Structure 1
């Protein structure tokens, strides 16, 4: 292969589709997919509205993180501020700004797209856009009243290099946190014109960059 690899959209025929479970936010769908050889096989997967996450970096090189209990894995995990795209067609930047305000009571002046990802494409259609937010300051107004697991969240600011070391040491397990901090480390240490073609600041996309996985009005 020459050049930079890129994923490509493709859709195999579906002979039938059912939704055996539909929850408040997510559901389960079973598709009968026609394979290239003509055979048909069932594929079960979680349907998901999509999510946004925010890597908020302050002027001292620290990242805003939250520690929250996650029942499915029986762990209290360090994570980035994040949330669902609750409103169909919602602008992901606006959703990210809302989540940063609600979960950390922080606002940011500089926003960029850090990366886009499918979290578990073998079993879910969840798509997540991770933003990089900089030039932070305290948000105005009253703090958002957290509920359920969020009411027990712990808020901290941790140096980026400590998070990178934690991910590589197997001490931090949230996938979006790991993706975000390693992507930002690549950006900040990259040399776009160097022999290894690092990332660098120029690799960052504008905050309103198109997102084919979750299209939204311009």
Structure 2
């Protein structure tokens, strides 16, 4: 019997690394990387802190999606609660719980790891961890987070999981967290949730910190 299929960590020699752009959230670095002996190519990489997303399911297996404007795509996208891993020392599960509370006024008493993925492995270090949140509890009005900017007016919709799957497969929904999260949740449910992993599962594929040896962020 063959071993389970899995991506494997790999390294190539970086001959030179240059900071192309320093941004408030992520940087861009240019690597001169030796792919094979004597074969050196330049690859520009977005050094991203990573992010989490939350597929929240209610007792009727409806998934929560919120509409948010995404400027690079030029779309108002329906997507699950999500956020950057930009709080120093915060683990992924805590970040997901915070995002569900801040963006959706919800807490959950049951958390599982649904799926991990890399958003753009050809050009970014961004790693995404998608959690499944169930046994939801609405946050009392007096304890709710005060949202601002684009998050202040995000419409929300509870959609049966089957309808969300149809919307993905017919091209209506494009946000990667929605596509990956909805399809993974549907497949996990079809398998009796047997594919779920503990929410605290180690995450070795999170950010590479490619700028750590160049110009550390203050």
Same fold (TM over 0.5): yes
Superimposed CA distance per residue, residues 71-114 of structure 1 (whole angstroms, 9 cap, x where no aligned partner): 11111000010000112342110000000000000000000000
Partner in structure 1 of residue 215 of structure 2: none
Which residue of structure 1 lines up, in the alignment, with residue 90 of structure 2?
Answer: 90
Tell me the residue number matched to 2:212: none
Corresponding residue of 2:30: 30
Whether contact under 8 Å (2:126, 2:206) holds in the other structure is no
- Compute the displacement of 1:18 (Å): 1.2
Q: CA deviation at 1:150?
A: 1.4
8 Å contact kept, 2:70–2:76: yes
Map of 2:16 onto structure 1 = 16
Question: Which whole-Å CA distance do the structure 1 matches of 2:89 and 2:102 have between them?
Answer: 20
Corresponding residue for 2:79?
A: 79
Query: Does residue 1:213 correspond to 2:213, yes or no?
Result: no
- What secondary structure does 2:135 align onto? strand
**Is it true that 1:163 corresponds to 2:155 in the alignment?**
no
Runs of 4+ in structure 1 deviating by more than 3 angstroms, as ranges, are none
CA distance in 2, matches of 1:35, 1:91: 33
Match of 1:129 in 2: 129
Identify unmatched segments of 5+ residues in structure 1: 191-199
- Equivalence map 1:1-218=2 (5 Å): 2-140=2-140, 141-190=142-191, 200-214=192-206
1:26 CA drift (Å)? 0.9
C-alpha deviation, 1:19, in angstroms: 1.2
Per-residue deviation at 1:32? 0.5
User: Contact 2:97–2:107 at 8 Å: present in 1 too?
Assistant: yes
The superposition leaves residues 153-201 of structure 1 with CA deviations (integer Å, 9 ceiling, x where unpaired) of 11121111110000000000111111011011111112xxxxxxxxx42
Long gaps (5+) in structure 2? 208-218
In structure 1, C-alpha distance between the alignment counterparts of 2:6 and 2:89, rounded to whole Å: 25
In 1, the alpha carbon distance for the partners of 2:193 and 2:3 equals: 20
SS in 2 for 1:203: coil
- 1-structure distance, mates of 2:131, 2:156: 19
Distance 1:30 1:157 in 2: 42
SS at match of 2:143: coil
Q: What is the distance in 2 between the residues matched to 1:59 and 1:109?
A: 13
How far, CA to CA, are the matches of 1:93 and 1:22 in structure 2?
28
Q: Return the offset for 1:143.
A: 2.3
